[in-house]
Amino acid sequence: MKRAVLAIAAAAVAFAAPALPASAQDVTLKIHEFLPAPAPVPKNFIVPWAEKIKKESNGRIDYEFYPSMQLGGAPPALYDQVRDGVADVIWTLPGYTPGRFPGTEAFELPFMPTTAAATSQAAWDYYEKYLQDEFKDVHIIAVHTHGPGLIHAKGDGVQKLEDMKGMKLRGPTRMINKLVESLGATPVGMPVPAVPEALSKGVIDGTVIPWEVTAPLKISELVDAHTSFAGDRGLYTSFFVFAMNKDTYENLPDDLKKIIDDNSGRETSKWVGRVMDEGDAPGLKIATERGNKMIVLDEAEVARWKEASQPVIEGWIAEMNDKGRPGKQMHEDAKALIEKYSN
């Protein structure tokens, strides 16, 4: 009887007691992404970002890291996973779901990018002006691009535009596949983790990726030649997002929201872009030490490629106009922002 009375009294005290202040709330973020943990972005950005958040919150924001799609699904599912709460934070390419985020494709048009750090800062400003509605279902932490993309191919590689004819070339997104096609090759779309197997089985003859991801995927062991381009613009780049589940963010107390906010935006976008730039050097070194052929197309040849790919730009502008968006202005703004941060 006495024990029962004490239990009732304890329950009454608990019911009457004020709720713990919001600042006492803790959260563990499930972070999901598609590359192996040792790859540059997971190792040098995602985990350090999470550790920084943990330290600044005195451990009240903790994390669980799931590389290589360990929570299940394929890379194109990542955006929906963070929207639906399967993961709290994801890193992915919007272009893995073709046509769903058309505004991002301005950065994937031919011969747009300079360094990833510069182009990523431009991407953030562009996101703020043009893309917030496209990503309204999630909370964006950073947007960024990789460094100048190039062609990695078997055999003699690509030494002139004509060498593209008939080549089966992997591309990551809708717009980059259009670029590949405009240059005479047959585009084969697939997420980057599938590339090594596709090369080894002869499904593709080559791939477009930056140097940064060639090392963790051992691409230099599967191809013979690497083609880059004279000038300060790469052939292409891809647009990435680092995003949080909207409810996860909005349910944070204000002091923890501020920590996330302080580690979001242009500077965070620049950080991950810089990681991608720095990640290019090891990939280039591995290919060079293996004795792979290094091809740099001169400015006259690059001009031919730009002319051949111009219809891709014009087609994207027309698509945006058809959607009621200012396609020409979006393209010009993307170019101007990249120029701004590249100087």
113-135 confidence digits (pLDDT tens): 999 999 999 999 999 999 999 99
- Of residues 22 and 84, more confidence is placed in 84
What does the pLDDT average to over 1-7?
A: 43
Mean pLDDT calculated for residue range 161-190:
97
The contacts of residue 213 (CB under 8 Å, 6+ apart) are 35, 39, 40, 146, 192, 219, 279, 283
pLDDT on residue 18: 39
96 has pLDDT over 60: yes
Confidence of residue 10 (pLDDT cuts 50, 70, 90): very low
Residue in 229, 239, 251 with CA at minimum distance from that of residue 306:
229
The confidence score (pLDDT) of residue 25 equals 66
For domain 25-145+237-279, give the fold. D-Maltodextrin-Binding Protein; domain 2 (3.40.190)
DSSP 235: S
CB 170 within 8 Å of CB 186: no
Q: What class has domain 150-233+287-342?
A: alpha beta
CA distance 127 to 117: 15
pTM for the model stands at: 0.90
Q: Hey, where are the domains in the chain?
A: 25-145+237-279, 150-233+287-342
pLDDT for position 4: 44
For the chain, helix, strand, coil in percent to 5 are 55, 15, 30
How confident is the model over 298-337, as pLDDT tens digits?
Answer: 999 999 999 999 999 999 999 999 999 999 999 999 999 9
151's tokens: 């062609």
Residue 11 scores a pLDDT above 70: no
Residue 19 has a pLDDT of 40
| DSSP bridge pairs for 227 | 151, 295
Single-letter residue type at 33: E
Q: How confident is residue 111, by pLDDT bands cut at 50, 70 and 90? A: very high
- Measure the CA–CA gap between 313 and 331, rounded to whole angstroms: 8
Token pair for 235: 């052939």
Output the pLDDT for position 14.
40
Q: What is the DSSP letter of 210?
A: -
Q: Are 156 and 162 in contact (CB under 8 A)?
A: no
Are 325 and 315 spatial neighbours (Cβ–Cβ below 8 Å)? no
**18 vs 104, more confident:** 104
The answer to whether 62 and 27 have CB atoms below 8 angstroms apart is: yes
As a whole-number percent, the residues of the chain with pLDDT over 70 amount to 93
Reply yes or no on whether the pLDDT at 50 is more than 60.
yes
Which residue type sits at 282?
A: P
Rounded Cα–Cα distance for residues 100 and 60 (Å): 35
**Helix 299-322 and helix 327-342, axial crossing angle in degrees, nearest 10:** 140
Q: State how far the Cα of 92 lies from the Cα of 333, in Å rounded to an integer.
A: 24
Number of Cα atoms under 13 Å in the Cβ half of residue 31: 26
Which residue type sits at 261?
D
How many CA atoms within 13 Å lie on the side-chain side of 262?
A: 12
On the question of a common fold for 25-145+237-279 and 150-233+287-342, the answer reads yes
Question: Average pLDDT over the chain, rounded to whole?
Answer: 93
What pLDDT is attached to residue 12?
43
